[in-house]
Amino acid sequence: MTIGIIGAMREEITPLLEHYKKHEAIAFGGNTFYKVTLGNKTLIIACSRIGKVHSALTASTMVLNFGCEKIIFNGVAGGINPSYKIGDLVLASKLCQHDVDITAFGHPYGYFSESKIFTESDCVLNGIAKAIAKENGINLHEGVVATGDQFVHSKERKEWIKKEFNADAIEMEGASVAVVCDNLNVPICVIRAISDNAGDEALVSYEEFLESSARVSALLVIKMIEKL
C-alpha cells in the first residue's frame, strides 16, 4: 500500500523525515517527494508549499504519479472553536473553502457550480485516528475545517467563517486536498494541531507554536501509519 503524507511547510514534514530516517528524495514537478519503504508499505512524503493550488498539485501528483492510495494531511491550524487550545489536535470531519465567492450568481459562499460546499474526509482513516487517540489518552477534537488562501488574523474574519460554515478550525490546504481526493476516489484524512486562534494575535502565536504543534500532529500521523 502506498500512502501519501503532505505538510504545507517544511516544519510540518521535518518530524516525519526525522522519524523515517531512511528516505529517498525524488524530484518531480518542481517539488521533492520523499519515499520511505516500510515492509509492504510505501510512504511518499512531501512539503506541498502553502495554499490551495500548491496542495492540490501535490495531492494530484501523489495519486497520479506516485500511485498513493490514501492521503494524510499533517500540520497546524488556527483554532476558531473557543474550546480549542494551542497544541490541541483536530481531525477534520468535513472541509470547505471559506474564500470561494460566486454569490453574485446567487450561490452561497463556499460553493462552485457542479461541486459542493463541504467535502467529507474518510471515515475509516478517521476511525483509526480516533482509536489511536483513545488508546493513548490523546484529546482529539473532531471538527469542521475551513480552508482558504488567507492567513486569518482578525477576530471579524474568523467570526464570519465560524458563522458562515460552522467551522472549528482554519488552515490553507485541507479542503483543496480533500477535493482532489474526492474526485480521484482516494481516502483522505486531515490532522492538524492548533498553533494560534486566528485572532488579532495569530501571527505571534503561529510563529511561536508552529514547530511544536507540527510535532504533535506528526506524532499522531506516525502512529496511524503503524496501524495501516
Catalytic one of 11, 12, 173, 182: 12
Q: Choose which of 71, 91, 152, 216 interacts with ligand ADE (CB under 6 A).
A: 152
Three state DSSP letters for 112-135: CCCCCCCEECCHHHHHHHHHHHHH
Burial 171-209 (b: 16+ CB within 10 A, else e): bbbbbbbbbbbbeeebbbbbbbbbbbbbbeebeebbeeb
Given the rule CB under 6 A, which of 25-33, 37-45, 118-126, 191-199 is the region that contacts ligand ADE?
191-199
| Window 23 to 52, contacts with ligand ADE (CB under 6 A) | none
Q: Choose which of 36, 175, 198, 225 interacts with ligand ADE (CB under 6 A).
A: 198
196 binds ligand ADE (CB under 6 A): yes
Query: Beta-carbon neighbour count of residue 34 at 10 Å?
Result: 18
Look up 101 and say whether it is catalytic: no
Closest CB 196 distance from ligand ADE, rounded Å: 5
List the one residue out of 52, 58, 50, 53 whose CA is nearest residue 32: 58
List the one residue out of 9, 42, 160, 166 whose CA is nearest residue 92: 166
138 and 131 Cβ atoms separated by less than 8 Å: no
Q: Where do the H-state alpha helices sit in the chain? A: 10-19, 52-64, 123-135, 155-165, 174-184, 202-227
Number of residues lying near ligand ADE (CB under 6 A) = 14
C-beta of 48 vs 195, nearer to ligand ADE: 195
Look up 12 and say whether it is catalytic: yes
C-beta of 68 vs 145, nearer to ligand ADE: 145
Closest CB 179 distance from ligand ADE, rounded Å: 17
Q: Choose which of 44, 71, 161, 172 interacts with ligand ADE (CB under 6 A).
A: 172
Active site residues: 12, 196
Residues in contact with ligand ADE by the rule CB under 6 A: 76-78, 151-153, 170-172, 195-196, 198, 202, 206
